Amino acid sequence: MKQIVLEAQTRTLQRKSVLKALRRSGQVPAIVYGGSDPPCPVVVDGAQFLQAMRTGLGENVLLSLKIGGETTTAIVKAIQRDPITRKALHVDFQRVSLKEKLEVAVPLKVIGEAPGVKLTGGVLEYILRDLSVRCLPMEIPEFIPVDVSQLEIGHGVLVRDLPIPQEIEVLTAPDQLVVNIVAPTVLEETPVEAAPAAAEPEVIARGKKPEEGEEAPPGAAPGTPPKVEAAKGAPTASRPAPEAKKESR
């Protein structure tokens, strides 16, 4: 593994206002610790640090920190980021020895296309995203492949199934599930109940006498009963014929 050179300058422990000014100028406050030497507060260039993190190893990249006239081998142990911009606010560097093993988290990378997903509509479920291992700094792998090209629905890959190099010691339990193919979820539709029919408004029959307290039809005089029309086809009452006038003799 090739080491990435990163320049750093020592600094004193400073107040928050000074640290904010450093970040505005493109610098990232950091600290270097580990080994027999005491912790050393430093500052690194933000653009150079970002470029170093863009290698295939990501945060597992092996760094050659140049601090003044000395060079220290280190790895990134922790990064404090802005929750919105994701820019680095503070970095912890850990000194390492090329002859001593260390524990790191190596990312897992899915290889191939599962038949259970492609042919039968299953879903690839991720259980683990990285693997905890112990190895020498120069033997840290970029990633560990996870082959899913033979997986059907209900099948998965365990940690013990992964192709691990002999020089790497896996710390994660061998029976831990890494990925799994699950059946697609079918959502059942809930039947919608029909809305109750609206009650028909009560209709007052034409010609009906208003009840007490009921409003009279418009234009009717108070106390006047409504006009009642004769039903069609009903016999009408005839007036009595006038009596014949008697002639005088």
- What pLDDT, on a 0 to 100 scale, did the predictor assign at position 189? 63
Q: What is the DSSP string of 30-90?
A: EEEE-TTSPPEEEEEEHHHHHHHHTSTTGGG--EEEEETTEEEEEEEEEEEE-TTT--EEE
With beta carbons less than 8 A apart as the criterion, state whether 52 and 41 touch: no
- What pLDDT, on a 0 to 100 scale, did the predictor assign at position 194? 63
Q: What is the pLDDT of residues 218-233, one digit of tens each?
A: 545 555 554 544 444 4
- What pLDDT, on a 0 to 100 scale, did the predictor assign at position 37? 87
* Residue 34: exposure state from Cβ atoms within 10 A (0-12, 13-18, ≥19): middle
Mean pLDDT by 10 residues, the chain (249 residues): 86 81 91 90 93 84 90 92 91 94 94 92 94 94 94 95 94 96 76 62 53 48 50 48 47
- What pLDDT, on a 0 to 100 scale, did the predictor assign at position 184? 86
- What pLDDT, on a 0 to 100 scale, did the predictor assign at position 146? 96
- What pLDDT, on a 0 to 100 scale, did the predictor assign at position 56? 77
- What pLDDT, on a 0 to 100 scale, did the predictor assign at position 216? 47
- What pLDDT, on a 0 to 100 scale, did the predictor assign at position 89? 92
DSSP assigned state of 114? -
Q: Which of the following CATH numbers is that of domain 4-96: 3.30.565.10, 2.40.240.10, 1.20.1260.10, 3.40.50.2020?
A: 2.40.240.10
- What pLDDT, on a 0 to 100 scale, did the predictor assign at position 203? 54
Let me know how many helices (H) and strands (E) the chain has, helices first. 3, 13
Query: Which residue in 86, 60, 70 sits closest to 4, CA to CA?
Result: 60
pTM comes to 0.66
**Intervals of CATH 2.170.120.20 along the chain:** 103-182
Superfamily of domain 103-182: Ribosomal protein L25, C-terminal domain (2.170.120.20)
**Intervals of CATH 2.40.240.10 along the chain:** 4-96
